[in-house]
Amino acid sequence: MNIIKAEHMGFCYGVKRAVDMALKAAEDYQTKSVCTFGELIHNKQVVERLAQSKIRVCETVDELQCGVLIIRSHGVGPEVFCDATNRGLIVVDATCPDVTKVQREALALSAEDRTVIIVGDKNHPEVQSIMKWAGERLLVISSIEEAKEIINLDRVGIVAQTTFISSYFDDIVNAITANIRDVVVKKTTCSATSKRQSAAVSLADKVDAMVVIGGKHSANTCHLTEMCRQHCLNTYHIETADEFQKDWLSGINNIGITAGASTPDWLIEGVIKKMEELSMQASMEMSVKRVQTGDVIKGTVVSVRSDGVFVDIGYKGEGMIIPSELAFPTPEDCRKIVARGDEIEVLVLATDGKDGIELSKIQADQLTAWDKVNEALASGAILNANCIEAVKGGMIASCLGLRTFIPVSQLDIKFVDDVAAYVGNHIHVKVIEVDREKKRVILSRRVVLQAEKDAEIDRFYNELKEGEIIDGTVARIADFGVFVKLGPVDGLVPNRELSWIRVKHAGELVSAGDPIRVIVQKIDKVQGRISLSVKDLQLDPWYDDIKQFKEEEIVSIKVLRVQKAGIVVEVAQHLEGFVPASELDSEIKRSTQETIYSTGSTLVAKIIRIDDQSKRIILSVKRVAEDAERADIEKYVQSKAEDATDSLGEKFSGLFSKLKFKD
C-alpha cells in the first residue's frame, strides 16, 4: 500500500506564528501568568501541549488579573485590546495576519458608510472577531440562498472568512451583485487555504482512500474533508492516530493524506506511522490465510482484462475469474463489470486448476442472492438491476446475480411505449414478489420513482408558504384558468386572478411554456391543490384610469353586455361601468332593452356615482336627455321673459310722455 502526502498541508504560516509566539511568551514571562484569549487554534492536542508549557485558556479578560494575554490566531474585537490595556496586562497579538487584514477591510468599508457583509460561519471565532470591527450595519451569510435574499441595500462591502472555500465565495458574490449595484468586494480568503484545498482535491482524484487530519470543530479542516469526499468516497476525518481503523485499508492500494491548517507535523507523522503498522499487520495476516475448494471468501481485484479478472484472496497466488463466472449475462468485456481495487466475494472452484486458482463471482453471489432478495422484499431496500433483454410483457434484468423480471407496467410511472430502449440501462428497483421454488423474482422501478416523486412533493409542500412569490412555467391553459408548473406539482391561476383587465380567454395573456411569476394564495395539501394569483403581484390600474373622470361628467360609452338589471358599458379601455335599467331612456320598456341597446353600440351617458371602495361606476342615459330638455325649457322661458319686458316698455313709454311733472 502506498501512502501519499498532499503537496500543501498542515500548519499554515498564521497558525505556526501563533504557536511560536505563545511558546516564546511563556519562556519570556516565566514569572507571570500567561493565558490565551480562547483556544489559540482549533486543535485540542496543540492546546493540551501548550498547557504543559503553563499556557492556560481564559474566555474573558476578567479571568486574568495580571500577567500576559495572548490574542488567539482568530483575532478579537478592539474592546478586548482596550480592556486588557486598561487592566495593565501585557498583550501579545498572535492574530493571523490574514485575519487582521480582513478586520481592517471591514473597518474601512464601514467607514465608507457601507453595510458590511461577512461571508462565513457566524459561530466561528474568526467571524465573530471580524464582526466587532465591521460597525453596526453588518450581515453574516454562508450560502447562496441567503445571498439571494439580500435586497434593498444601497451601498455594500463584502469580505470573507479566511478559510471559506474560494470558489463558493465567488458564487455568493455573484448572487449579491445580481440584486445590488453599488458593491465593493474584498476577496480575503487565504491563499494558503486555497493551495491546501487544491492540493487535497488533486490527490483525492488519484487515490483509493483519503485521510484528513485535524480538529473536528476546525472550519478549514471540515471544509477540506467535504471537498475531498466529493472526489473520493472513502474519505475519513480524524484528529489523532488512535481514530484510524484497520478496516479502512482493506482493498486499498493508494491512500492519500492531508491535514488542516491547525494540524502540527507531529500529529501527521503519528497517523502515518499507525497506517504503516496496520498495513504491515494486514499483509502478514493475509499471507497466512488458508483456502480450499468450496470456500466463499472476500478478495480484492488487482487486475482486469477483457477476458478475465485476477483477484487477491490472500493465498499463495492470485485467483482468476473467467467471464462466464463473473456475471449474468456473460460480459463481453470484464472491465465493464469490475475495476481494480473492488472488493468482491468469490467461490473457490479449484486451488490447482489448469489456470491455477479458479474462482467464481456469480456462484458466490447466487449462494447468498436468494436470502438477500427475501431480505430486500421484507425491508423494502432499493437494489441495482441491469436491464438485459426486452421480452413480451416486460424486461429481463440481472439483480444480485439472479435472472429477474420487470413487468412493463413497473418500468416507469408513465406509460412505456418502447421497452427495448431500456436495454443496457442500470436502474434502481425494489423487489415486489419472490418465489424461490419457481425461481421467480419480480422487480419494480415504478415504486422507486413514485416514492422519490412523493418525497419530492412532500418536501415541496412543507417548504411552500402562503403569500410566497415563486417562479413557474405555464403547463397548460384551460377554459377556467392556467395551470402552472411549480417544481414537482402544478398550481392553478383562475381566470379572475390572471389580470385586473377582463379577458375572454387566458390564451390572450399567456402561452404554454411561458415563464410566469405568481403568488401563493392558498395551499391544500390534502386535496393536492395550490391556488395562485398573478393579479395580486400587479397594481390595480382601475385607480389610475378613473382619475380622468368625475361625477356629473358627460361621457361617450360603448355597450358590452345587456342584462335585465341594466347594461354593462365600456367607459374607457379596460374600464367598465353600469347603467341601471332605471337610468335608461324612460320611454323604452324593459322588455325591449335588448333590441334597443345592442352590444357594440355607442351612447352618451352621465356619470352619477364613482364608488372607489367597490370600484363601480354608475351612469345614466336618461339624465343626459333630461338635462338637455331642462336646458331647452330654461332657454325658452328666458326668451319669453325678454319678449314680455320689451312689449310693456313700448306701451308705457307713450303714456309717460303725456304726463306733466311739476318742477
Active site residues: 126
Q: How many Cα atoms are found within 13 Å in the side-chain-facing hemisphere of 486? A: 29
3-state secondary structure at position 260: coil
Return the amino acid letter for 415: F
Contact 37, 58 (CB under 8 A): yes
Q: How remote is the C-alpha of 577 from its chain's centroid?
A: 48
For the record, the C-alpha cell of 611 comes out as 364608488
Distance CA 529, CA 588 (A): 49
Tell which residue, 481, 529, 526, 530, has the closest CA to residue 506. 481
Residue 11, sorted as left (phi over 0), alpha (psi -120 to 50) or beta, turns out to be beta
Contact 605, 557 (CB under 8 A): yes
8-state DSSP, 61? G
> Locate cell 439472479: which residue?
402
CA angle 409-413-419, nearest 5°? 50
Return the amino acid letter for 514: D
For the record, the C-alpha cell of 115 comes out as 453595510
- How do strand 115-119 and strand 155-160 relate by DSSP bridges? parallel
Contact 275, 3 (CB under 8 A): yes
Tell which residue, 552, 596, 595, 546, has the closest CA to residue 571. 546
Please name every residue paired with 558 in a beta bridge, in sequence order, or none if there are none.
Answer: 570, 602
Distance CA 522, CA 534 (A): 13
Q: What is the CA radius of gyration of the chain?
A: 43
Contact 248, 275 (CB under 8 A): no
Distance CA 319, CA 280 (A): 22
Distance CA 534, CA 509 (A): 11
Tell which residue, 587, 586, 556, has the closest CA to residue 569. 556
Distance CA 34, CA 210 (A): 38
For the record, the C-alpha cell of 36 comes out as 490565551
First to last CA, the chain: 152
Distance CA 310, CA 640 (A): 128
Burial of 217 (0-12, 13-18, 19+ CB in 10 A): middle
- Can you state the percent helix, strand and coil of the chain, rounding each to 5? 35, 30, 35
> Locate cell 410483457: which residue?
393
Contact 474, 510 (CB under 8 A): yes
Tell which residue, 1, 628, 636, has the closest CA to residue 278. 1
For the record, the C-alpha cell of 425 comes out as 440501462
Backbone angles phi, psi at 400, to 5 degrees: 55, 30
